Amino acid sequence: MVDPTDFPGDHVSSSDRRPPRIVEHPSDVVVRRNDPATLNCKAEGSPKPAIEWWKDGEPLRVAAAAQSPQVQQSVHRGGSPASAHRVLLPSGSLFFLKVVHGKREHDAGVYWCVAHNSAGSATSRNASLATAGRMISPPSAATALPLLIVSTALEIRPVALNAIRTE
């Protein structure tokens, strides 16, 4: 949890302080397992707000985008320091290197970001991240939905595919 009284480089006079304001809220997203995803969050304020993420009512542990080379190497080898598949970008957005959907860990849930600075805090709207198991291929001609055919009289009527004659 971020302590709003502890901001390094917080050299803004009290008259210039502005509490955070969320200017880009995260949006709902559906992603296939193991695909990358981003939940956006941007905030304004003076001093510049720090962003933290929450998932399903709990603070989310994320890796910072600018980590030491040792942590980055660990991530590339499949390590998981601070849930390394999730990265907090400098903009405040939450980036998923790959969306996880397993028995022990899963990324599906309700997320929101909180922006903090020494002048206050702001909370974004909720956004749902859902995982899709497998993508559905387009239907074949035998299972296609009924078509709408426009006749020369400009009337629209549904027609089943098996009713179309090619004579």
pLDDT in tens, the chain (167 residues): 555 445 544 566 677 899 999 999 999 999 999 999 999 999 999 999 999 999 999 999 888 776 534 334 433 444 444 567 899 999 999 999 999 988 888 999 999 999 999 999 999 999 999 998 654 445 544 444 444 334 334 444 454 545 444 55
Predicted local confidence at residue 14, as pLDDT: 72
Predicted local confidence at residue 113, as pLDDT: 98
> Judging by DSSP bridges, how do beta strands 42-46 and 18-24 pair with one another?
antiparallel
CB proximity list for 144: less than 8 A, separation 6 or greater: 161
Q: Record the tokens describing residue 17, joined without a space.
A: 């302080």
Provide the residue ranges of all domains of the chain, joining segments of one domain with +.
14-132
Choosing among 2.60.40.10, 3.30.300.130, 3.40.50.1980, 3.40.50.720, the CATH entry for 14-132 is 2.60.40.10
Please state the pTM of the whole predicted model. Answer: 0.65
Predicted local confidence at residue 1, as pLDDT: 54
**94 vs 129: CA distance, rounded Å:** 12
Predicted local confidence at residue 66, as pLDDT: 61
Contact 52, 43 (CB under 8 A): no
Predicted local confidence at residue 74, as pLDDT: 37
CB proximity list for 127: less than 8 A, separation 6 or greater: 25, 26, 27, 28, 29, 39, 110, 111, 112
Predicted local confidence at residue 63, as pLDDT: 81
Predicted local confidence at residue 39, as pLDDT: 98
Q: How many CB atoms lie within 10 A of CB 81?
A: 13
Predicted local confidence at residue 3, as pLDDT: 53
Amino acid of residue 82: A
- Distance spanning both ends of the chain, measured CA to CA: 72
47 alpha carbon, distance to own chain's centre: 25
